[in-house]
Structure 1
Amino acid sequence: MFTGSFVALITPMFDNGEIDYPSLKHLVEFHIESGSHGIVAVGTTGESATLPFSEHIEVVRKTVEYAQGKIPVIAGSGANSTEEAIFLSTQMAETGIQGFLSVVPYYNKPQQKGMVAHFKAIADSTDLPVLLYNVPSRTVADMLPETVAELASHPKIVGLKDATGDIGRLKETQALVPDDFVLLSGDDSTGCEFLINGGHGVISVTANIAPKQMAEMCNAAKDKDFDLAKKIDKQIEGLHSALFVEPNPVLPKWALYKMGKTNSAFLRLPMVESELESQKHIEDVMRSSGVLS
């Protein structure tokens, strides 16, 4: 269902902080033309933490509108409050999205049993499929493979975005979940290895900048052409690290602005524009990767 390269899309903004919907439309069209297999709208890369619910829902609705059914859209609906996550999910269920991406609650540090109860409550509130999202570097709490396996028994919970960067963790999870449970990498640096080891796709930050290459890498891995997948990944591996020199999505926004894909690199506080040294570094890497002339 959710396989291949899904871009963790940034939310473009004007310099006054308002949502830049013309640039959002341009980005969606860019991904359709580049062969991306799907879009994640208003996930953590989309600055979900600083968008009020009304804007969050509207950005998702507009993303679906701009996609025109040509590419599936998954909506970020995570929150550290189960009630808020359910509210977001129910409000966005009628926008035309294909499913939800819901992150492990952050700051609260829930127990594994708490995670099970949280995600089951969200899944029970919707008829749409739910992807779990484990990113302990951001949330502190780490959802263990045994917890994922327990949640995989819920008919609405269909997959996991694993951003641990640990291929050993992938192997542990594979051994515990059904074969049709979707396993997606959320760590670009190890994404190719994740695919080679049986992962089904990526939810990628790098895909904001290099969507064609990320989609082609996923296609090659799906065809078991691992040499080609590695070759493509090698061409853009510098981006995987350079885009995270500063906290995501600071540099992805700057990179897209330099590519002429957006009108501004504005971020909402407490995030601010990247340092000049970081800007120069990412521009150099973009040129060496062939995404900026």
Structure 2
Amino acid sequence: MIRGSIVALVTPMTSSGDVDFTALTTLVEHHIAAGTHGIVAVGTTGESATLPVGEHIKVVTAIVKQVAGRVKVIAGNGGNSTAEAIELTKAITPLGVDAFLNVTPYYNKPSQRGLIKHFEAIANSTDVPQILYNVPGRTAVDMLPETVAELAKHPKIIGIKEATGSLQRLKDIQALVDDSFILLSGDDETGLDFLKLGGHGVISVTNNIAAKEMAEMCNAVVEGDFELADAIDQRLKAVHSAMFVESNPVPVKWALCKMGLIPECIYRLPLVEPELNTQNVIEEALKNANLL
């Protein structure tokens, strides 16, 4: 079972724009030491939209080798072209990832029937389990609960990262799928409530900068210690919000650099460093949460 605190890992880069594999190694070890239960490699927070296929594969390869089975590794494999997503999926399949995280096609806004065909085609191209990813605020298409239920019948589609932030959406999906279907929150601000309602884990942006705290919160829910979980979540409330004052991963990468967890705050265009007023909001949230 893939569950608990899963980091949507950033991809650190050098001033020349290349992937910083030394910093990546350090980040992976930081998360394992902090108790993170799983790592998403080159998801949307990892700037998958601007990493070409060859580089995408190199980053996933490096993370799988570094982790060496100590935690779960989930690789991003989504795209708005089914054929290209299948190509990427086939290239990553031999690397030894535990699962794929497959975002809904963006910009071209397929119908619900188109979504079913898209995800089934990708699932049929590999033996590695697939986790669906619904984030309509970024993709402009919303995968409805009935569509999720239909896709859950596929033997290789094992769960969903649901990032609408709607707890009612979680309940609607729960009513239509088996208990074995993995339910992961993709919204840090409602992540704890998602877990309390029976969700299995959180794929988190905040986890990048508060790995120990997010792991402790998820563990507390499993142990039934909601008082501790609430206290941790309350401490991180402003951080959850600050990580989205500009488009992800702009704030979280800047925060990581400010905290000294990555050496440089470098993005791939069209993403750039956050505005000065945004930096102030992020820094204040980090200080108030005792992360800085």
Paired letter, 1:151: L
Number of the residue aligned with 1:214: 214
Residue of structure 1 equivalent to 2:226: 226
Q: Deviations over 1:114-152 (max 9, x none)?
A: 000100111111111100000000011100000000000
The alpha-carbon deviation at position 237 of structure 1 amounts to: 1.0
Show the counterpart of 1:41.
Answer: 41
Instruction: Give the equivalent residue in structure 2 for 1:138.
Output: 138
Q: Which residue is 2:238 aligned to?
A: 238
Q: CA deviation at 1:68?
A: 2.1
Aligned to 2:252: 252
State, as a whole percentage, how many aligned pairs show the same letter: 59
Displacement of 1:285 after TM fit?
0.9
Residues in 1 aligned to 2:25 and 2:68: alpha-carbon distance in whole angstroms = 11
Partner of 2:284: 284
TM-score relative to the length of structure 2: 0.99
**How far apart are the structure 1 equivalents of 2:82 and 2:199?**
28
Q: Cα offset for 1:15? A: 1.2
Task: Tell me what 1:178 maps to.
Answer: 178
Counterparts of 1:290 and 1:277, CA distance in 2: 20
CA distance in 2, matches of 1:235, 1:79: 35
2:152 corresponds to = 152
Pairing 1:1-293 to 2, within 5 Å after superposition: 1-292=1-292
In the TM superposition, what is the alpha-carbon distance from 1:94 to its structure 2 partner? 1.1
- Could you tell me how far apart the structure 2 residues matched to 1:11 and 1:221 are? 29
| Aligned alpha-carbon RMSD (Å) | 0.7
For the residue of structure 2 that corresponds to 1:94, the secondary structure is helix
Shift of 1:224: 2.2
| Structure 2 CA distance for aligned equivalents of residues 200 and 71 of structure 1 | 16
**Aligned-partner SS, 1:70:** coil
TM-superposed CA distance for 1:2, in Å, is: 0.8
**1:51 is matched by which residue type in structure 2?**
L
Residue 106 of structure 1 aligns to a residue whose secondary structure is coil
Aligned mates of 1:227, 1:38 — CA distance in 2: 24
Q: How many residues align?
A: 292
Higher mean displacement: 75-84 or 276-285: 276-285
TM-score, structure 1 normalization: 0.98
Letter in 1 for 2:144: L
Unaligned runs of 5+ in 2: none
Residues in 1 aligned to 2:141 and 2:68: alpha-carbon distance in whole angstroms: 37
One-letter amino acid matched to 1:202: V
Separation in structure 2 between the aligned mates of residue 100 and residue 215 of structure 1, nearest angstrom: 21
Deviation at 1:10?
A: 0.4
C-alpha distance in 2 between matches for 1:216 and 1:120: 36
Mean Cα displacement is larger for which, 219-228 or 144-153?
219-228
Q: Cα offset for 1:281?
A: 1.7
Give runs of ≥4 in structure 1 deviating > 6 Å.
none
